[in-house]
Amino acid sequence: MGLQAINSLVDLCERAGQYVLVTDIPGEGASVVEGDVAVAVVSLQGDPGRCRATAAHEFGHLVIDDEYSSDLGIHSSRADREALLDAFAAELLLPSQVLTEERGASEEISRDQLIRLAARYRASWSLTIRQAAQAGVLSPESRRDWARSTPTRSEFMEAVGWAPQPDLEAVRVPPRYAHAVMEAWRRGTLTATRAVELMHGQITIADLPMGAEADVEP
């Protein structure tokens, strides 16, 4: 993927072998691997940037295979592993090299530059601040001051012309899974009601082609 922003984390995870469901549940997220099937669930509660960070964190469980990886050490604590996965998620969403290149020859990256990157990469402000500090482009003083003033929607719009899009708000299930559900509905092996149920809020009956109401179960 290089240094490009990730448009859809659900799509990325599915292509890597993990099926993600985004739904309204308490907490943040969880994941598990059972045989050759990897799944994760991500809560819609919280701001969109935080949801993306959670999805990236759960993806890290699959990539790093933390429960069994000897690289982490069998004596590593759960807290250490979770911290590593948070670092992985941050680097996945907003690579350090992007921050370094954005700073250029300046001694420190500017707040406007960080706002622009947070919007383009759809990262939460807190994650963006942490990554900038980790990359060495932000002083401890600026990190402390800027962490207290989260950019407003108008600041994001002014920076790049659009506010960060709620990726996981609009996409609830993996795209290939969604395609399979729709194909099953077209073949008549699923009713419209069941197809909509399996899409977990990504579509409604009204989004299906004309005539779908005819097979809605009472």
Per-residue pLDDT tens for 45-56?
Answer: 878 888 899 999
pLDDT, position 156 = 78
pTM for this prediction: 0.82
Burial label for 188, CB within 10 Å (0-12, 13-18, 19+), is exposed
pLDDT, position 141 = 94
Q: Is 211 left (phi over 0), alpha (psi -120 to 50) or beta?
A: left
pLDDT, position 114 = 94
pLDDT, position 162 = 59
Q: Per the structure block, which two tokens stand in for 205? A: 């009956």
pLDDT, position 69 = 46
CA distances from 191 to 6, 174, 206 (A): 34, 20, 14
What is the arrangement of strands in the sheet containing 18-23, beginning at the earlier edge strand? 18-23, 37-43, 29-34
Q: Cα-Cα-Cα-Cα dihedral of 107, 110, 113, 115, to 10°?
A: 140
Q: Cα-Cα-Cα-Cα dihedral of 156, 52, 171, 39, to 10°?
A: 180
Quote the percentage of the chain above a pLDDT of 70.
86
Task: Give me the residues of the chain with pLDDT under 50, please.
Answer: 68-72, 74, 214, 216-218
